Structure 1
Amino acid sequence: MNISLILILTLALTNAQAKAIEKNRLLLAISKTDHTLVFIDTSTLKILGKATVGADPHEVVTSSDGKTAYVSNTGSGKLHEINVIDIKTMKALPSIDTGALLGPHGMVVNGEKLWFTSEGSKSVGRIDLKESKIDWLMGVGQNRTHMIQVSPDQKQIYVSNVDSGTISIFDNLLLPPPIPPIGAPLPGAKPQMGWLQTVIPVGKGAEGFDVSPDGKKIWVTNAHDATISVVDIASKKVIQTLNTKVLGISRIKFTPDGKRVLISSLRTGDLLIYDAASMKEIKKLNLGKGAAHILIEPDGERAFVSCTPAGYISIIDLNKMKILRTLDIGPRPDGMDWAP
């Protein structure tokens, strides 16, 4: 056989194997009624096991090394527990007590840090995962601080505040030394790094949001207004308001290539697919009684949407923009994440 042909066939086989390995990951999904974290093989869509979690599980995130899952328990802003699950054994480890930071909800892992929102305490906190301790917190001063994202360099934090109808952007900046109310500045006082919050009014019920893959814009769902606010991160201003005409839009997610945006409605069960460049709707799918959390595969081929009121997860073919099937993991599915 021709050497060049052998190399081509080998390369094709290697690419096919790599794609198969990439597909072979776990989907972690919460059943709120069963109080379980469910482990699903995405290649077969079979349930591999379940782990018991807390009284009111909402969101789940995976550690950077893929070994540990963290589940927040909100309890209408009253609970103070983040469950820790060993992914390999699917067993619970000692939980993290968030103390006075009540109602942990949105979470994101960045390196060895777990950042989370505290709905009941109007704050954001950060946990050192090596020590399982809170090592930083910051008050937000807005009502029902809900979802969170952190920039890759950890110098910007973005949070949504549902009942205040706002988005907060925190910048880690070099701030001037403090000036006392009376008298001259303290001798030897120097500028130091600190966090500066910018509060951006968006719409009523500002709940879900996502940062565009290029890091330039935030799209925010305003559940009570049926609108999407597009925020320019550099200027920290709303540059566009899109009327979806669909009430209850609660979650939003960019595809990995940044070309499309998926928006779910917990009230109507609709999944809207928007073209990111034109900001126009290109498809609407109805998934049943209500649609919530959205998770998209890294290759952008499928989306998984937890349909909480209907009691299943819908799997969407994003190339054909159609529903492939549904997956039953237990009543009231909600937060989801990937694990290797």
Structure 2
Amino acid sequence: MAISASDAKYIRANHFSAIGRFKRSLSAATIAAGLLLTCCIAAAQDTPNSALLVISKREHALAIVDPSSLKVIAKVPVGNDPHEVTASADGHTAYVSNYGSGAYHSLAVIDLVRHQPLTAIDLGALTGPHGLTFVDGKVWFTAEGAKVIGSYDPATSKVDLVLGTGQNRTHMIFVTPGSEHIITTNVSSGTVSLIDKEAVRMPGPPPGMTPPAGTPRPPQGGPGPRMDWNQTVVRVGNGSEGFDVSPDGREVWVANAQDGTISIIDRQNKSVVQTLQVNVTGANRLKFTPDGRRVLVSSLSGPDLTVLDAHTHKVEKRIPIGHGAAGIVMQPDGKRAFVACSPDNYVAVIDLNQLTMTGKFEVGDEPDGMIWAARP
């Protein structure tokens, strides 16, 4: 079909007009993409070297909070029923326990720089992971369903140690640098496990028994010592859950939720030296201030944060913070503490000099476990 001169002119005009619109559209899209990339880069650059990490149990997320502005920088999904969180020594990675009261068996892994979830760690038969800490390049955890503590090595992607406690609900965990001493609370047993790596001498073969062919001859006097783990179980109070070790390493303070008491264990003698009647029924977490002067105790059954004098063992103050609280974390400089007020869906900010609640911020429903993450 023949096209007239006027039609041809119209087609050419619309053709170039369409090209112009396409170029303008492409340019706008390019600019928008560039702005988005710039914003992402700026956001990554704005992430502080020190951050507060807070679990939101109901949202199944980890909130990364700027401690200077108390603003949430990012939220990262962490799987079902998250309870506790720890961070690697370089501040690049976080690990979250998926608890499920023994139904789950994984640790969520989060890239704190890119704000992304990584491949979770499947613990297999080690069910009910809860308490976490990061020591000597490894993730240490409790597993309530299996009644054990264990360690996971990120360098080899393997669980490289499992130790049974024989206690019910092995819940929270503390590991000393060098990984020679481990402390756990066992909630339903009302006990604390003090686990120490010690040299033990292994006996030789029974008298008259001939070793199998090819077995190296033991040195005179027996095979000699080797390192092994020994557990001392200390009876404290009912519902022993939150605990902390004094900064000088001499004492373990344990909050007994059902009894409303605090047991003080002498680590050298491995025995309870005092039980404080301080009315902390429902106690969830217990933490020393960095200077060792005070002890903070949260309770899911009461409105107050209890502050104890670590030297006199007396209640110094009860700070109203809401309708109950769980996780506690100290700012490293000792100026503030942060307390997860789970029933009220906010985190309370505590001035440790004035012993007052100075503010609060939201990270998501039912905040719980918290940790401070710092990059060198």
Settle same-fold status: TM greater than 0.5: yes
Which residue of 1 is the match for residue 158 of structure 2?
133
Cα drift, residue 190 of structure 1: 2.5
Which residue of 2 is the match for residue 170 of structure 1?
195
CA deviations over 1:115-144 (Å, ceiling 9, x no partner): 100010000011012122101111000000
CA contact (8 A) 2:338 2:347 kept: yes
Distance 1:192 1:93, change over 3 A: same
1:88 corresponds to 2:113: yes
1:105 corresponds to 2:139: no
Distance in 1 (CA, whole Å) between partners of 2:103 and 2:337 is: 32
Tell me the amino acid that sits aligned with residue 220 of structure 1: V
Distance in 1 (CA, whole Å) between partners of 2:291 and 2:66 is: 24
CA contact (8 A) 2:136 2:178 kept: no
Deviates more, 1:281-290 or 1:23-32: 23-32
Which residue of 2 is the match for residue 204 of structure 1?
238
Distance 1:304 1:181, change over 3 A: farther
SS at match of 1:261: strand
Distance in 2 (CA, whole Å) between partners of 1:24 and 1:44 is: 14
Paired residues for 1:226-245 under 5 Å:
226-245=260-279
Distance in 2 (CA, whole Å) between partners of 1:333 and 1:270 is: 17
Count matched residues. Answer: 318
Distance 1:80 1:181, change over 3 A: farther
CA deviations over 1:82-130 (Å, ceiling 9, x no partner): 0000001110010111111111100110121111000100000110121
Structure number having the greater strand percentage = 1
Unaligned runs of 5+ in 2: 1-47, 212-216
User: Percent identity among equivalent residues?
Assistant: 50
Larger radius of gyration: 2
SS at match of 2:101: helix
CA contact (8 A) 2:80 2:100 kept: yes
Distance in 2 (CA, whole Å) between partners of 1:86 and 1:206 is: 33
CA deviations over 1:225-267 (Å, ceiling 9, x no partner): 0000000000000001001123101110001111111011111
Which residue of 1 is the match for residue 365 of structure 2?
331
- RMSD, aligned CA: 1.6
Which residue of 2 is the match for residue 20 of structure 1?
none
Which residue of 1 is the match for residue 294 of structure 2?
260
Paired residues for 1:1-340 under 5 Å:
25-178=50-203, 188=218, 189-340=223-374
CA contact (8 A) 1:31 1:333 kept: yes
Unaligned runs of 5+ in 1: 1-22
Deviates more, 1:171-180 or 1:218-227: 171-180
SS at match of 2:343: coil
Distance in 1 (CA, whole Å) between partners of 2:321 and 2:207 is: 62
TM-score by length of 1: 0.90
Structure number having the greater helix percentage = 2
SS at match of 1:309: helix
Distance 1:89 1:278, change over 3 A: same
CA contact (8 A) 1:169 1:199 kept: yes
Distance in 1 (CA, whole Å) between partners of 2:78 and 2:318 is: 34
Cα drift, residue 287 of structure 1: 1.3
Tell me the amino acid that sits aligned with residue 332 of structure 2: P
Which residue of 1 is the match for residue 37 of structure 2?
none
Distance 1:165 1:184, change over 3 A: farther
TM-score by length of 2: 0.82
